Every structure is written in structure tokens, then in C-alpha cells.
Amino acid sequence: MSGRTDSHRVDSLPDPVMALLRAVHDALDLPLPGLTDADERAYARLLVHRARDAQVILAGILDDGHEAGRAALSLRAWVDREPVTYTPWTNERGAR
């Protein structure tokens, strides 16, 4: 017995909440780094920064009552200011 109702479905969430969830997902969904130490360090640094940014945004909503839609826009703006600059990993042997 799952006890789930339609209120637990993602598509039942308000649009601003969905925008926030998508923004957090996209902020943390980084491509894997290339094989160099520099790429791995840059990946780790960016992931830490993006996780911190997401945490700040979520704290603003949960602790201070910020509006989810505006928070999503803010997070996206922060992410845009700090793009991926390392070489992403590619599978050279993969099918093309």
C-alpha cells in the first residue's frame, strides 16, 4: 500500500516550484570532467560552488519565505555567471 495521492505527483506541483526544482537539477547536473587533473579540480570546484548556490536559494525559500519562481530565476542567473570551463569527458570509443 503506497498511500500516495495525486498531490505527490510532480505534475501537480505549482509552476514556480517546478521551475525551482528544474533550476536546482540543472545547476547540479554538470558534465563529467576530462581526464586531466586540472579538469577534475575545475569540476570539483564548480560543483561545490553550484551546490552552495542551490543551498543558499533553498534556505531563502525555507527560512525567509522567498518566492520560488524568483528564486529559480536567481539561481539560473548565478549559474549563467559561472559556466563550465573545463573539458568535459568524452567516450572516444563510443558509437557515433
pLDDT per residue as tens digits for the range 68-78: 999 999 999 99
- All structural domains of the chain with their residue ranges: 12-81
pTM listed for this prediction: 0.84
Residues 6+ apart with CB under 8 A from 4: none
Amino acid identity at 58: L
What is the residue type of 39? D
C-alpha grid cell, residue 35:
581526464
Q: What are 11's strand-pairing partners?
A: none
Half-sphere exposure of 18 (CA within 13 A, CB side): 8
Helix (H, G, I), strand (E, B) or coil at 65: coil
CB 57 within 8 Å of CB 8: no
Residue-wise pLDDT tens digits, 10-48? 889 999 999 999 999 999 999 999 999 999 999 999 999
